[in-house]
Each structure stands twice: as C-alpha cells, then as structure tokens.
C-alpha cells in the first residue's frame, strides 16, 4: 500500500489544516492508482487529524473555470486545451492517443468538490470566489448571490484575462461559484 496522500500525524492533532493547491495533485505521481483515488483518502486523513470543531481551508482549481471552458491549456493535463473541462473519457482518450501518461492532476467542479468534502465527514461552512484569480487573489468574496452582487460594484477586475474578466462580469451572480478560476472552501469537523 502506498503512503501517498496519508498524513503522518496522530488523530485529533490540529485545530486547522490549510490545503492550498494540493488536492488536485494528490496521488498524481503514483502510477498504481488514478489521482482521484488519493483525494478522498487525503480528505479522510485531514478529518482524522483535525480536532473536534477543527477547520479545513481548501483551495483548488475549478474543473469548469472559464479559462478551461474557452480553450485554455490545462497544466494538469499536459497543457491540453480545455483539459479537465472535457468529459473524463474524452480527456483520457486524447491523452492516450497523444502517447502521454494519464494526467497527474484531477480537478473537480463546485458540486463535486462539495460532495467530496462531505464524503470525508467534513461540513462545508462557506465557499469563496478568489478575485481575480486564486493564485494571486486580491479579494475573497463569499459565493452567495447577495455578497457577489455587492462586491461587483467595487471590483475593477473579475478575471485575470480580458476574456475571463468579461465573462465573469456577464455571469449571473448565482452561477459565479461554478465558473470561478478556483474553489475555496472552509469546512469544519463537526
């Protein structure tokens, strides 16, 4: 059994765990299993090492970010245009036809990540939109409709390219959480 995506800490050791741009790569370097197999294991390990009422801050890239939906290259899928936004079977087929190994990174949509977090026993408390982009955020805005509408009046940039900036401005507030560049969740061990 591999030690990938396991934490070498005692149960209930931490009040807070920060997972910043790690989940998508978890187990990606292990040829014995697909990347998706290590991700639930890592979240279960985080649940195990958190104290009761402990908090997880999880930042990861969004499978359906506008950048990928409009044909941007996906570093998680050998730079393939659209990358993880493609149906999984099609992504695997294209990568295999190009003679590349399976993609090392595995991205999730908003709903899939929420289910993954809940599946590990954690309770999502809040999700945020990292504006304009999650690697270099200038603001974190709660993804509820009211907070997004209020924040939009003050935002100069809503995306990190001209196209994503335009698309984010045109996106209805209720839909922003589904197309943001990254997914930022705060979850708690209850």
Q: For 24-51, how does the pLDDT look when each residue is reduced to its tens digit (9 = 90+)?
A: 888 666 667 766 788 999 999 999 999 9
**C-alpha–C-alpha distance, residues 51 and 20, integer Å:** 20
Share of the chain above pLDDT 70, in %: 94
| Contact criterion met (CB below 8 Å) for 25 and 36 | no
Mean pLDDT of the chain: 91
Residues 6+ apart with CB under 8 A from 122: 43, 46, 47, 56, 187, 188, 189
Average pLDDT over residues 122-150: 92
Within a 13 Å sphere around the CA of 171, how many CA atoms are in the beta-carbon half? 22
The encoded tokens of residue 69 equal: 């939906």
**C-alpha–C-alpha distance, residues 160 and 43, integer Å:** 29
Average pLDDT over residues 88-110: 91
Going from N- to C-terminal start, the domains of the chain cover 14-189
pTM: 0.90
Nearest 5°: CA angle at 148, between 145 and 149? 85
Q: What pLDDT sits at residue 136?
A: 87
Q: Parallel, antiparallel, or unpaired: how do β-strands 50-61 and 182-189 relate?
A: antiparallel
* DSSP H or E stretch at residue 122: strand 122-131
pLDDT reading at 63 higher than 60: yes
In this structure, whether the domain defined by 14-189 belongs to CATH 3.40.50 is answered with yes
Which ranges constitute the DSSP H helices of 7-161?
35-49, 66-69, 88-97, 110-119, 145-152
* DSSP H or E stretch at residue 57: strand 50-61
């Amino acid at each position: 059994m591999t030690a990938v995506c396991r934490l070498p800490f005692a149960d209930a050791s931490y009040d807070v765990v920060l997972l910043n741009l790690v989940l998508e790569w978890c187990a990606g370097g292990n040829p014995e299993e697909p990347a998706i197999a290590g991700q639930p294991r890592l979240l279960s390990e985080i649940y195990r090492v958190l104290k009761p009422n402990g908090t997880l801050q999880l930042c990861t890239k969004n499978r359906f970010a506008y950048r990928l939906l409009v044909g941007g290259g996906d570093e998680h899928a050998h730079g393939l245009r659209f990358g993880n936004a493609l149906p999984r079977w099609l992504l695997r087929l294209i990568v295999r036809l190009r003679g590349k190994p399976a993609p090392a990174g595995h991205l999730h949509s908003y709903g899939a990540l929420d289910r993954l977090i809940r599946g590990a026993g954690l309770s999502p408390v809040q999700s945020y939109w990292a504006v304009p982009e999650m690697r270099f955020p200038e603001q974190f805005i709660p993804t509820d409709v009211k907070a997004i509408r209020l924040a939009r009046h003050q935002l100069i940039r809503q995306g990190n390219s001209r196209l994503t900036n335009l698309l984010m401005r045109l996106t209805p507030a209720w839909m922003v959480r589904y197309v943001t560049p990254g997914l930022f969740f705060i979850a708690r061990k209850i």
